[in-house]
């Protein structure tokens, strides 16, 4: 079974209401009906969006849901994205989706811990977005864990420089200098 078929099965298993919300957040008109009909629609989508994987579609749609305050759907889609992740990029993106969702509930210690876990996993996967690096560095500084904050900044400089995001890398270099007393 292909990953797009797995995605069709995943989406077919959602409630009708969740599928409708997925369609709205993804701006993708999924047909009602069988898994096969959904697979055909997704296969057509894959043709016009060749750089998109099933996992990245779930993760970005989950991020949209989370930004709209639809946390339960965001978590469902993020977990599905993790299951379908086949590359480090997809894995990082899935973890960022989940980190962003847990970040919204950060006042709850368990949610904050889940946020940290998913950020660390995204960073380990080499994700080149700044969200996790920025939030973790701030969190560690706030907690008085300067060494941890500096390590996050070092990793950010490494990953963001390699990705060609020199402006963001420079911001993390500056923060690292401050943390190092320089």
Does residue 117 contact residue 150 with C-beta atoms inside 8 Å? Answer: no
- Which burial class, exposed, middle or buried, applies to 136 when counting CB atoms under 10 A from its CB (0-12, 13-18, 19+)? buried
Q: Tell me the pLDDT of the chain (182 aa) as tens digits.
A: 799 999 999 999 999 999 999 999 999 989 887 899 999 999 999 999 999 999 999 999 999 999 999 999 999 999 999 999 999 999 999 999 999 999 999 999 999 999 999 999 999 999 999 999 999 999 999 999 999 999 999 999 999 999 999 999 999 999 999 998 86
Q: Say what the pLDDT of residue 97 is.
A: 97
Q: Say what the pLDDT of residue 32 is.
A: 83
Q: Say what the pLDDT of residue 182 is.
A: 67
Q: Say what the pLDDT of residue 88 is.
A: 96
- pTM recorded for the entire structure: 0.93
Q: Say what the pLDDT of residue 12 is.
A: 94
Angular region, 33: left φ>0, alpha ψ -120 to 50, beta rest: left
Does residue 29 contact residue 23 with C-beta atoms inside 8 Å? Answer: yes
> Please, where are the H alpha helices in the chain?
3-13, 16-26, 35-48, 54-67, 71-84, 88-103, 109-124, 131-142, 146-162, 166-179
Q: CB neighbours (10 Å) of residue 120?
A: 15
Give the separation between CA 17 and CA 116, rounded to whole angstroms. Answer: 30
Q: Say what the pLDDT of residue 33 is.
A: 75
Q: Say what the pLDDT of residue 181 is.
A: 82
Give the separation between CA 37 and CA 178, rounded to whole angstroms. Answer: 56
DSSP 69: T
Q: Say what the pLDDT of residue 166 is.
A: 97
**φ and ψ at residue 165, rounded to 5 degrees:** -95, 70
Q: CB neighbours (10 Å) of residue 35?
A: 15
Rg of the chain, C-alpha, whole Å: 18
């Amino acid at each position: 079974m292909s990953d797009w078929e797995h995605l069709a099965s995943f989406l077919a298993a959602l409630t009708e209401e969740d599928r409708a919300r997925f369609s709205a957040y993804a701006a993708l008109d999924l047909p009602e009906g069988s898994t096969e009909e959904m697979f055909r629609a997704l296969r057509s989508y894959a043709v016009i969006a060749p750089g998109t994987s099933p996992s990245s579609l779930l993760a970005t749609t989950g991020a949209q849901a989370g930004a709209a305050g639809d946390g339960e759907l965001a978590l469902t889609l993020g977990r599905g994205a993790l299951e379908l992740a086949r590359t480090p990029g997809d894995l990082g993106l899935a973890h960022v989706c989940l980190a962003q969702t847990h970040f919204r509930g950060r006042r709850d210690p368990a949610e904050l811990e889940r946020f940290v876990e998913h950020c660390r996993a995204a960073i380990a996967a080499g994700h080149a977005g700044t969200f996790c690096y920025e939030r973790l560095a701030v969190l560690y500084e706030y907690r008085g864990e300067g060494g941890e904050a500096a390590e996050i900044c070092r990793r950010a400089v490494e990953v963001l420089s390699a990705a060609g995001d020199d402006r963001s890398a420079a911001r993390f270099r500056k923060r690292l200098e401050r943390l190092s007393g320089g």
